[in-house]
A and B are shown apart, each in its own frame.
Chain A
Amino acid sequence: MDFSESFRQNFIQDDRWKYLANGLRTTLIITVFAVIIGLFLGFIVAIIRATYLRTKKMLIPDLFCRLYLTVIRGTPVVVQLLIIYFVIFGSVNISKTVVAIFAFGINSGAYVAEIVRGGIMSIDVGQLEAGRSLGLNYRQTMVHIIMPQAVKNVLPALCNECIVLLKETSVAGYIAIDDLTRGGDIIRGITFAPFLPLIAVALIYLFVVILLTKLVGVLERRLAANDRR
């Protein structure tokens, strides 16, 4: 079978490209919302952790945060996904996409938390003291002095985490979500030709990641505009 014939069989016939298009849409929906949840959770956990480490306040929340980090970072995301789908939401009929968004969001939150905490801790403690001695309270110092610098420092690592998350959603097929990877699997299941569907799926992921990297690059340049040169 030559290339054009194989291409026709894998993508054109019976509109099979739609498996990939719909899969990409699902993958993007899951990724975008999971990133939002992940950032939200991650920032909260990071601030609690950093506050405890710097001021020794909030011991109990810090304990919970450490438990969360240990459990989530200590178990594979597929297992978490299956537990959330079959155990936690076992008898509730809830959209699988929502389940996946929660699972990947909660998972990502743990990694984001440690990235952001690293960013906060990288800002010299002298800045915190300076802010406090200028009459700002702890919250104001965090919001206006520490966080803007911390976020800028961790942006590349956060971008990295988004990329990882995007690719991690490829296991969503375990709970019968037709994501991009699964779209390719379905085509493979029909045509039994492994080459083209897999290459196509890989190229689409690659394209999305390149796009994402470019966007973050633009953001970084804008944020660097007021840096010393």
Chain B
Amino acid sequence: MKMNRLFAGFSMLALSAVMLTGCGGPPPNPVHSVDDLKGKHIGVQLGTTGDTLASDLEDTNVEKYNKAADAVQALKQGKIDAVIVDLETANAFVDKNDDIMVLDEEFADEEYAIAVNLENEELRDELNGALQALTEDGTLPLIKANYEGDEKGQHPYEIKTGISRPKGILTMATNAEFPPYESYDGKLIVGFDVDMMNAVCDYLGYELKIDDMQFNSVLPAVQSGKADVGVAGLSVTPDREKNVLFTDNYAVTHQVIVVRRK
């Protein structure tokens, strides 16, 4: 019957589309330095400093993904030529993917800090005090050592039990797509930022509640009071400082370029 033949044609078409999946690898890596980025497709995570940086470069096509992991996936498949992302996050991705690498060239330093509502100077000062005290007593350096360097994974932070938490709940807005700062491990959100905030809350007597959301929503959540603090590997930038208060920085990092190995 005529309709039957037509249908066979359609199924063949669908089948060949599925088979496209298997054939052909990604094109060879065209980016070997910052200068090569001109005219290339660069993947970033929407609203991150990598996004700002890439958008400021001339003659590039910036593709803004919701997740850094999606940008890396697109890079591996050859849909884009490079990804600009924070150094530690880049390393975390490279650890898990043999076919990508980080270029040696680094962009300018940037500092991570905790964001609080513009009007909440009191909380900012409290957090600054806690950060300083925890740095001096060695807690923060130990947490840091748990996530980078030779002693990775040897110093997990244990949340203190049996202490009183008179100040109630402190809500932390984050975007758990950003290893090693925050990511999911099973049902739990783990990472440097989480351990640090647990230490801070133990020190100050808060109970930590983590709210996972799109990266783009973290600062608005802090601005609108839906969250008390934003801790998401947030780099301090002049634009952001107009809208939230930042604590003293707790980490210094840079943006790097991730490319395909071949």
Contacts and interface: CB of A to CB of B under 8 A. Distances in A.
Interface size class of A (residues with CB under 8 A): 20 to 34
B64 A182 contact: yes
Interface in B16-56: 17-18, 20-27, 43, 46-47, 51
B160 interface: no
B252 interface: no
A64 interface: yes
Interface string A31-71: 00000000000000000100100000110110010000000
Contact of A176 (B7, B11, B65): B65
**Size range of the interface on B?**
35 or more
B253 interface: no
A87 interface: yes
A88 interface: yes
Contacts of A60: 4, 7
Contacts of A92: 20, 24
A174 B46 CA distance: 10
Interface class of chain B by DSSP: mixed
Contact of A189 (B24, B74, B216, B242): B216
A58 B4 CA distance: 7
**Which of A87, A176, A192, A193 gathers most chain B CB within 10 Å?**
A176
Contacts of B139: none
A192 B223 contact: yes
Nearest to B22: A91
A48 B220 CA distance: 50
Contacts of B64: 173, 176, 178, 182, 186
Contacts of B63: 176
Contacts of B91: none
A176 B74 CA distance: 10
Contact of A174 (B11, B66, B79, B223): B66
Given A176-B71, A185-B47, 12 more contacts: A60-B4, A64-B7, A86-B77, A178-B64, A185-B46, A186-B47, A189-B216, A190-B239, A192-B219, A192-B242, A192-B244, A194-B224
8 contacts: A86-B73, A89-B20, A93-B79, A176-B65, A186-B64, A188-B47, A191-B239, A192-B220
